[in-house]
Structure 1
Amino acid sequence: MTGGESTNIHPEIEGRDSIESRMREILRVRNYSYRTEQTYIERVRAYLSYAERNSLAIDEPETVRRYISWLALSRNVAASTQNLSFNAINFLFKEVLKKDMGDQSDNLRARSGSKLPSVFTVDEVKAIFDHLEGTDRLMLEMIYAGGLRISELMRLRVQDIDWEGCQLFVRGGKGDKDRTTLLGRKLVEPLRKHLEAVKKIHEEDLSAGVGEVYLPNGLDRKYPGAGKTWGWMYAFPSETISKDPRSGKMRRHHVSDMTIQRAMKEGMRKAGIAKYGSVHTLRHSFATHLLMKGVNIREVQDLLGHNSVETTMIYTHVIRTLGNRPESPLDMM
């Protein structure tokens, strides 16, 4: 079978459009995020194009091996990009084509060496915040205060804030896991004032007929009207109304990751910090600074939402780079 022919693995799938449609359907049933859905579709699309260009069968493990090798050797992609492509194609085989790739799963995953995460010092974090104001500063402070992933801040709902306990409920984090983490006491009043302004926007949206927000896991069908309630409103909504790519409804989504990343770059630029850093560096810094203060590593693991303490252990190595280092023999001369 050539790339131009349809696979006979699944009779109802007849070509690339049907494959993409079926894959979207399964991803949504499995409650994958919209971003993951888009990424997987994009990666599979690239794989199918490669197979078609080279007249290869899309449902043969050998085609996958050749494609991943082409990415690594000809396109020189990063290990993370290679693995992301493989994960998407693996999903295609298992869930759409209903075919096993055999031992390719172990052989085709790129292995990269252990790397220490980039971390800011406490003074650097303070300098970044001091050069920002308003919502930009508040968003980054909340990420640092609770060790949040950028997506977790973006999707934070008003009802997920525990004011009395000074904590946040992170819903559907990485691996679709829930957890609690910290809300800095210093952020309580700024966050309250911010939400007062957000509530006015929400009320205006309701009056305009666009105040219903997206609800996960089909909750909009189970609880009709819940998407219009204040508790489900995003704590950091988008400045604009846009069409929901899944339902087609006009609504206010959450703030975009690009908005938060731009704020971070601006804060670093104004603070004169030239080292590599991103919004995620604040999460690394949160973990490292807690450990430096003597917080138990198991507690840090829980706050970060790591499955294994081994993942959290990487920050103990970072601490050594920030602590008292031995003097260079050159300086002893």
Structure 2
Amino acid sequence: MGNKNKLPDVFDTDQLVQLFDSMNNIKVATASFLAFFCGLRISEVCNLETSNVDLNRKVLKVVDSKNTNRGKQGGYGKDRYIPIPDPAIDILRDWITLIQGGKWLFPSDKSPNQPMTKKNLDEKFRASLRNAGLLIHKEDLHFTAKITNPKTGKKEKVERTIPRYKYHFHNLRHSYATYLLNKGVNIVAVKDLLGHERFDTTLVYAKLAHSKKAEEVNNAFNVQMRQHVIPQQEVAQLVPPQPSNLNPLAKLQDLMVSGKITAEEYQQRLSLLQSSLLR
């Protein structure tokens, strides 16, 4: 995700409704809907086969998208199974009926025997962002490219500028992770659902969820009333706060999210905690 200290941008609920309402392409809408509700990478969406969808068990099999040579490596890869939330079940069922079978869940328009390409899905998703008023310019990326001069046949350096936008297809995955953590889903479970190899990759979302909660609380209580509620001369007489009633796992997770312990320390303490609970 680039700079690990930089928090990713996520869609809020209103933006998601606005985005999906603006989509006039059923395939793109279904693919985007599934990416959000299952936290998928764009490559994972494009490579889904209809056989990967089990509507009866409400489970989606995601083949490891980062280990394409696993046969040569002699391993099985890190495929994962993701629960399909109820809101996505009927949409998937209707979509599978609409495409009338076939190997690929999202086949190419030009070549139905091939999957939809990442480039094609990304371009159409960007068009949907534009329709929804969410194609928000963030910054310009300046770089030097080498191109061949058609007249001389020699390589020449040319300055290029590419606009960068706030939201992309991958932000659906960011939003999925942040939404789960905001709803109290354990960070270890979120790590497994996302298919992350490193724990600190998932930790970025935990920090974002923590900052979002703090922002919501501050906004909710953004009223100048402290002096009226608690006279300063009586502050010293206040009853000390009661100890937290969080369970040990929640306490440990809170220590990590607040930055009081590192991801490595979290994993070490988590192993000790799990060992003690099994005794």
TM-score by length of 1: 0.50
Matched, 1:126 2:12: no
- 1:253 maps to 114
AA at the equivalent of 2:213: G
- 1:311 maps to 201
- 2:87 corresponds, among 165, 177, 186, to 186
- 1:139 maps to 31
| Greater per-residue helix proportion | 1
AA at the equivalent of 1:238: S
* Identical pairs, percent: 29
Distance in 2, matches of 1:322 and 1:132, equals: 27
- 1:238 maps to 108
Matched, 1:298 2:168: no
SS at structure 2 position matched to 1:127? helix
Matched, 1:172 2:68: no
Answer with 187-196 or 137-146: which moved more.
187-196
Displacement, 1:289? 0.5
Distance in 2, matches of 1:270 and 1:122, equals: 17
Displacement, 1:290? 0.5
Change (3 A) 1:324 1:178: same
Displacement, 1:163? 0.8
* CA offsets 1:137-187 (integer angstroms, 9 cap, x no match): 111000001000111111111111111221200012334420011323222
Distance in 2, matches of 1:292 and 1:151, equals: 26
* CA offsets 1:240-293 (integer angstroms, 9 cap, x no match): 23xxxxxxxxx7210011222123222222222226010101001100010001
CA contact (8 A) 1:145 1:182 kept: no
How is 1:1-333 mapped onto 2 (pairs within 5 angstroms)?
114-133=5-24, 134-175=26-67, 176-199=77-100, 202=102, 233-241=103-111, 252-273=113-134, 274=136, 276-325=166-215, 326=218
How many residue pairs match? The answer is 180
AA at the equivalent of 1:196: T
Distance in 2, matches of 1:196 and 1:290, equals: 30
Displacement, 1:136? 1.4
CA contact (8 A) 2:48 2:62 kept: yes
CA contact (8 A) 1:238 1:252 kept: yes
CA contact (8 A) 2:50 2:104 kept: yes
* CA offsets 1:45-66 (integer angstroms, 9 cap, x no match): xxxxxxxxxxxxxxxxxxxxxx
CA contact (8 A) 1:122 1:289 kept: no
CA contact (8 A) 2:4 2:201 kept: no
* CA offsets 1:41-98 (integer angstroms, 9 cap, x no match): xxxxxxxxxxxxxxxxxxxxxxxxxxxxxxxxxxxxxx97xxxxxxxxxxxxxxxxxx
* CA offsets 1:93-124 (integer angstroms, 9 cap, x no match): xxxxxxxxxxxxxxxxxxx6632222111221
Distance in 1, matches of 2:179 and 2:98, equals: 32
CA contact (8 A) 1:140 1:260 kept: no
Displacement, 1:323? 2.8
| Greater per-residue strand proportion | 2
- 2:251 maps to none
Distance in 1, matches of 2:113 and 2:40, equals: 22
Measured on the aligned residues, the alpha-carbon RMSD in Å equals: 2.4
Bigger RCO (CA 8 Å, 6+ sep): 2
Distance in 2, matches of 1:142 and 1:122, equals: 16
Long gaps (5+) in structure 2: 68-76, 138-165, 225-279
AA at the equivalent of 2:47: R
SS at structure 2 position matched to 1:306? coil
